[in-house]
Amino acid sequence: MVKIKQEFPNTRLPDVARSVKEELSRVNLQGLVSPGWEIAIAASARGIRDQAVVIKSLVEELQALGAKPFIFPAMGSHGGATAEGQATFLKGYNITEELLGVPVRSSIEADLIGTSERGVPVYADGHACKARGIILVNRIKAHIDFDGPQESGLFKMITAGLGKPIGVKNFHLYASKYGYHSVMLEIARFALERLPIILGLGIVENAHGETETVRALTADEINEGTIEAELLKRAKENMARLPLEDIDLLIVDEIGKDIAGSGLDTNVIGRKGEIHNWHNQKPSIKRIIVRGLTEKTQGNALGMGYADFSTGKLVDRIDHHQTYINAITAHAPHEAKIPLIMENEKSAVDAALSSGGVHKPEEARVVRIKNTLELSLFESSEACLHELAGKDNIQIVEELGEIQFDGEENLLPIFQRKRV
């Protein structure tokens, strides 16, 4: 095995807070709110690196105009579909009343605001419905289940996030009949007509998970959809990917809801959708081992169903209640299925290689990553080096020798850097 560094363009915003305030000035926030208005700020469950910075800047600008902002979680059924669980999610991202100086109103109660033309019931957070204005804050990125001009972003937050558990359940129910993109636009545009949504702040990150762009969109611009489509295109261009198309074994150190909606990004592993859809996707990965869960996922192990092997260490950390509610609400029970559980990680590696058609271990194309969001540093087996050698952004950092296991025959840690 060798340690590989993969270079990505460094396009990080130098001052996120300043960029937010410039965007709010550009769209004339002052003309959209009045003193005394309560403004509901929708916060996401995703692990958006600078979400707290963006919301803090937004809060300061609203307060300077005499408005009364508050924050609410717009995250569907995450956090075990409980108000406490969703507030805990936000706390993990430094979004609290103590740190931001405004109330956090967490509830899973949603008001029915009407029924769309095709009979889809549309719901929205009860606190947000009572506010004079709603501002959305979300990252724009590729969705884990479907492709379209708009995927995971502001439309998705209106559709699934604002709707609370009942809203996201209805979204998936009708999407299974009419298609994800079609139903998402239908629900979001219906809500835009009836809710006081005044702005959306779309965040695009670079390949390192750092903020590259913050763009303010008026309600009309959200509804029209062109700008979000452009931001999505940029997000896909930025997306970190594995530099190999054919892999015998991928070892993933951690999965979690702060990494991707499915715990690990299906756009990275080439296993989008259910198993019968995997055969024609790239990269083609024969076997996947998942080693553990992130701290911020709170035991939600959604996405473990995309793996082939794991160990009891991961199973012991699973919050089955959170995981199953998320899977059932999303109509994705396959994402919560438990893979083959091996005694230790050495036996998991042995089983993965022997069941994946590898005749000689030294010829196995093996890759080990921390998670699907952080791909600038990874391990690769010697069999991959010929293909990697032709890539300008690839550098061998260290030759590691054979895969190393500890006294309990589990893999030694190799990723020490913590995400900020």
**Would the pLDDT of 305 be above 80?**
yes
Torsion on CA atoms 235, 238, 243, 244, rounded to nearest 10: 10
Shared domain check, 264 and 231: no
pLDDT at 294: 93
Verify that 250 and 232 share a domain, yes or no. no
**C-alpha–C-alpha distance, residues 228 and 179, integer Å:** 19
Is 304 in contact with 334 (CB distance < 8 Å)?
no
Last residue of some domain: 183, 218, 238? 238
Q: Residue 89 sits in a domain of what CATH number? A: 3.40.50.11440
Query: Tell me: the pLDDT tens digits for 50-63?
Result: 999 999 999 999 99
Which range, 24-33, 265-274, 277-286, has the best average confidence (pLDDT)?
24-33
pLDDT at res. 56 = 97
Please check whether residues 171 and 272 belong to one and the same domain.
no
Task: Looking at the structure, tell me whether residues 77 and 96 fall in a common domain.
Answer: yes
pLDDT tens-digit readout, 193-223:
999 999 999 999 999 889 999 999 999 999 9
Taking the CA atoms of residue 264, residue 266, residue 271 and residue 273 in that order, the dihedral angle to the nearest 10 degrees is 110
Q: Give the strands of the sheet with 284-290, arranged side by side.
A: 340-342, 309-311, 284-290, 246-252, 366-369, 377-380, 2-6, 394-399
Counting the structural domains of the chain, the total is 2
pTM value > 0.75: yes
Domain that holds residue 329: 240-399
Q: Name residue 380's beta-bridge partners.
A: 2, 367
* Mean pLDDT, rounded, for 102-127: 95
Rounded CA separation 194/135 (Å): 14
- Of the candidates 251, 255, 323, which has an alpha carbon nearest to the alpha carbon of residue 294? 255
Do 340 and 264 lie in one domain? The reply is: yes
Distance, in Å, from the CA atom of 102 to the CA atom of 88, rounded to the nearest integer, reads 16
d(CA 245, CA 369): 15
Assess if residue 1 is contained within a domain.
no
Say if residue 322's pLDDT is above 60: yes
Write down the residue that tokens 């998991």 correspond to.
Answer: 348
